[in-house]
Each structure stands twice: as structure tokens, then as C-alpha cells.
Amino acid sequence: MSRTEIPVVHWYPPLDPIGGLMTPRLPVFLIFLLTAILALSAFSGVYAADGDGLEVPGMPVPEDLRNALLQGSVDTALEQLDELEQEQADRRDDWLVFRSVILQRGERFEEALEALKVLEATYPTSPWYYKARLTRSKILMRLERYGEAQKIIEEETSRLRSGKRIEELAKILLEVADRISQEPDPTIPNPKQPQYGRARGLYTQAADLAPPVSLLEESLYGLVRCSVKMQIAAAQLIKDADRYLATFDPRNGDGEAGTHLFDVLLARAKAKSGVVSRRELQDLVAVIDASLAGEDPWKDRFQGDLAASLRGVRGDALLAIVGTYSSVDLRIAALRRFIDEAPDHPERIRSGFRIGEMLRDDGQSEAALSHWRGFIEAQIPGDAALLEQLKRSARFKIGQLLWQMEQLDDSRAAFVEYGRRAPDGPDWAASQQAIIN
């Protein structure tokens, strides 16, 4: 065969209602590309919805349509399909599926939806029928029409109750839930706000399907994450966390530790208050230390790339401990421990500044002045811009505190220094007025 010859590719529509066109958990553009590739591929086995092997009459993919698809020519491919629907009307359901794929590749999503709706309405016994429904839910999700997409998924939930189908349906539910619960992009004007309540419902649906372990872990963690974001009642959050821990905390059985185990333990501990919360947070820090050391039952589960994430959770726990104390001195001591033991935590720099505020608010003026002066002189690694901003703010607050202590000359000098270092600072006008006064 010469290099220019194109072999005939025999294509038969697969009867599995999930495979082929549905490839959840991938970026949308990859879904479209893989869809076209799968549609052009030869399928060695064809299965009906009940899993029995069937012989399905098929025909070769016409060469002109094949070439148009390979070249990415949307208009040419659509013209070919118009002709095929006339010439081979008995395969119109096949051509409608191809039409939807091609329209998606051309980002003509409304037309793609219409093609699938025609297929569903006209060919209820087509081997493509269920595939068309789930593909339509994917497109609706792409268009952010989540209510319509969820309705289709819910209708399919009771039907798809075995093996591979449950796995694929869980993936679809997770993809929608992940998408609508994403944090808004601060660089986009008027970003859409996360729909935590709806996402929480989808995560619950996915978990209730009893999917494979990895998907169950994602589902139950998503449930806890949304509960935290919604500031749901503590009792419900703890219940959600316990549902996760029953399966993914190896201390409760023989199962393997879940990827998000320590995030869930942190959320559960923070849902409580006072000494109960503090004890659970302290226990969490100790457990994390044991896991980082590779002790049983953790061994090497949280080594390598996961170790950095685990240290972040440890820092979050140390910071949360601060709020469990009522005594200012104990809160400050806990905050100092956090600063010492979590050098890479994003709140470390801000916490150093915060100690001065806590001392000032507690009436410990001299201690606050001493702390802020030390903070200004300290070389602290991390966010340099934030550090400089807080050092400027510390100079201004030193001026305020000295003025309250009636050390007017020192106060004026502090305000002058602030004005010199922060001519565009938020407190510049106040510092100049203080100098005049």
C-alpha cells in the first residue's frame, strides 16, 4: 500500500450507552477530539445495554467524510452528512451522532444539542440513544446550563446501575460538581459565584452510587469541602466528615488512607469549639508528624509530593489552635508556635504582624511596641510585597500607640517615617494630620 492510500475503516456504532462519545473528567476540547477519534476507530466488540454481544449491521465510513473529519473541516463534513442523510437514510441516527461531534468541534453547541434531540425523539431504539442523552448533558454543562444537565443525569441514575456504567455516571456527576464549586477567578470581572449547595447535592449523588474507591473518595471529600464552604451546621459537617472517615481512615479498618484524609480531619476538628476542638487539632498535628515519619499505619503513603500538602494542613491546624484559647497570652504563645513550625505557610507573615495587634488590644503597649519594632527589622522569607506593606502599617500603628501613650515626639517621628516610606499608603493622610496635630 502506498503512502498516499487511505485504508477503508469499518465503523460500527457501539451499543454501550456510556463509552465512546462520553469521556468524563477530561477538558472539554479533549473530549471533542477523543470523540472524533473514537468515532473513526474500528470497534472489535459491540455490546447492547444488557451486555450481550450482538451483530450490528455496519458500513464503512465514507472516504470523503473520513477525510473531512481528519482535516478538521467542519463545513465540508456537514455537507457530506447532508448527502449521506439523503443517500443512506437508514443510518440517519449514525449521521446525527457524527453531526453532533462535528458541530461540537466547531463550537456550534446549540446546533449539536439540536442534532442529539432529533436523534432522541426520532430513534428511541437506536444504539446511540443513551449515548446521545449523556452527551447532551455534557454539552449543557459546557454551556453552564447545569439544571438541564442535572435533570438528564438524574434520569439516567436509576437506569445505570452496574459496573462500568456506575463508574462513568459518577465521573459525570463529579465533573459537574467540580466545575460549579470552583473558586471564582479573581482576574475575571464579575465572575460567577460557586454553587456550593448544588455541588454538594451532586457529590452526595455520586457517593450514593457506590462507585469505585477513587471516585468515592473524591465524592465524599467534595461533600465535606462544600459543607465547609457553606458554613453548614457543625453537626452536619461532622456527620459528613465521619462518612468519609469510615472508609478512608486506616485507623478505622483495613482500608487505605484517602488522599484528602487530613483535610477532612482538619475540617472536623474546626467544626468543634474550645478545648474539644483544640484536642482534636493537637491530635491531628501528632498524626501528621507520624505520617511524615512513615510510621504505621501510614508508612510511605504521604511521602514525596504529598508531603508538602501535608505540611500545609499541619500549618492550618496549628493556626486553628490559636482560636481555641480565650487567654490572650495563650493565643499569642500558640501563634508563636505556628510561626516557628510553619515557615512556609502563607499566613506566617501576617501572623507576625497580628501579634502586635493582640498585645496592643490587651493593653500591653510596651510589649506591642517592642514586637512591632522587631517585626520591622526582621528578615522574613516569603511574600516580599506583603511583608513591606505590613512593615509600613506597623510604623503607622507605632505612631498611633505612642500618641496614645503621650510620647508625642516619638509619635511624630514615627508618622514622619511612615509618610516617607509610604507616600501612597492607605494611612498617609492620617499620618500627615497626626503630624500637624
Read off the CATH number of the domain in which 50 is found.
Answer: 1.25.40.10
Confidence (pLDDT) at 35: 36
- Range with the lowest mean pLDDT among 83-92, 298-307, 365-374? 298-307
Cα torsion angle, 303, 305, 307, 310, sign: negative
At 391-401, the pLDDT tens digits run 988 988 888 89
As a whole number of angstroms, the distance between CA 73 and CA 79 comes to: 10
Cα torsion angle, 221, 148, 183, 106, sign: positive
* Contact yes or no for 403/430 (Cβ under 8 A): no
Confidence category of residue 435, pLDDT binned at 50, 70, 90: low
As a whole number of angstroms, the distance between CA 382 and CA 345 comes to: 9
Contact partners, residue 256, CB within 8 Å, separation at least 6: 248, 250, 301
Q: Identify whether 103 is part of a domain.
A: yes
Is the pLDDT at 165 greater than 80, yes or no?
no
Confidence (pLDDT) at 403: 84
Is the pLDDT at 51 greater than 70, yes or no?
no
Q: Identify whether 6 is part of a domain.
A: yes
Domain count within the chain: 1
- Maximum average pLDDT range among 41-55, 152-166, 186-200, 334-348: 334-348
Q: Which grid coordinates belong to 241?
A: 466528615
As a whole number of angstroms, the distance between CA 292 and CA 299 comes to: 8
- Range with the lowest mean pLDDT among 15-24, 233-242, 349-358? 15-24
Is the pLDDT at 53 greater than 70, yes or no?
no
Q: Which residue has the higher pLDDT, 332 or 20?
A: 332
Q: Which residue has the higher pLDDT, 133 or 36?
A: 133
- Average pLDDT of span 132-161: 81
Give the 3-state DSSP-derived string for the chain, with helices as H, strands as E and coil as C.
CCCCCCCCCEECCCCCCCCCCCCCCCCHHHHHHHHHHHHHCCCCCCECCCCCECCCCCEECCHHHHHHHHHCCHHHHHHHHHHHHHHCHHHHHHHHHHHHHHHHHCCCHHHHHHHHHHHHHHCCCCCCHHHHHHHHHHHHHHCCCHHHHHHHHHHHHCCCCCHHHHHHHHHHHHHHHHHHCCCCCCCCCCCCCCCHHHHHHHHHHHHHCCCCHHHHHHHHHHHHHHHHHCCCCHHHHHHHHHHHHHHHCHHHCCCCCCCCHHHHHHHHHHCCCHHHHHHHHHHHHHHHHHHHCCCCCCCCCCCCHHHHHHHHHHHHHHHHHHCCCCCHHHHHHHHHHHHHHCCCCCCHHHHHHHHHHHHHHCCCHHHHHHHHHHHHHCCCCCCHHHHHHHHHHHHHHHHHHHHHCCCHHHHHHHHHHHHHHCCCCCCHHHHHHHHHC
Q: Identify whether 312 is part of a domain.
A: no
Confidence category of residue 162, pLDDT binned at 50, 70, 90: low
Measured in Å, how far apart are the chain's first and last C-alpha atoms? 94
Confidence (pLDDT) at 280: 98
At 98-120, the pLDDT tens digits run 899 889 988 999 999 999 999 99
Q: Identify whether 68 is part of a domain.
A: yes
Rounded mean pLDDT of the chain? 81
Q: Identify whether 358 is part of a domain.
A: no
Confidence (pLDDT) at 88: 87
Confidence (pLDDT) at 261: 96
The owner of cell 504505621 is: 296
Q: Identify whether 341 is part of a domain.
A: no
Q: Which grid coordinates belong to 104?
A: 461540537
Q: Which residue has the higher pLDDT, 305 or 214?
A: 214
As a whole number of angstroms, the distance between CA 171 and CA 162 comes to: 14
Q: Identify whether 335 is part of a domain.
A: no
Q: Identify whether 257 is part of a domain.
A: no
- Average pLDDT of span 230-244: 96
pTM exceeds 0.75: no
As a whole number of angstroms, the distance between CA 283 and CA 321 comes to: 11
Confidence (pLDDT) at 303: 82
* Domain hosting residue 137, numbered range: 1-143
- Average pLDDT of span 286-312: 87
* Contact yes or no for 399/414 (Cβ under 8 A): yes
Confidence category of residue 409, pLDDT binned at 50, 70, 90: confident
As a whole number of angstroms, the distance between CA 281 and CA 272 comes to: 10
Is the pLDDT at 25 greater than 90, yes or no?
no
Percent of the chain with pLDDT over 70: 80
Confidence category of residue 26, pLDDT binned at 50, 70, 90: very low
Confidence (pLDDT) at 145: 87
Confidence category of residue 150, pLDDT binned at 50, 70, 90: confident
Confidence (pLDDT) at 302: 83
At 315-359, the pLDDT tens digits run 999 999 999 999 999 999 999 999 999 999 999 999 999 999 999
- Maximum average pLDDT range among 34-43, 196-205, 274-283: 274-283
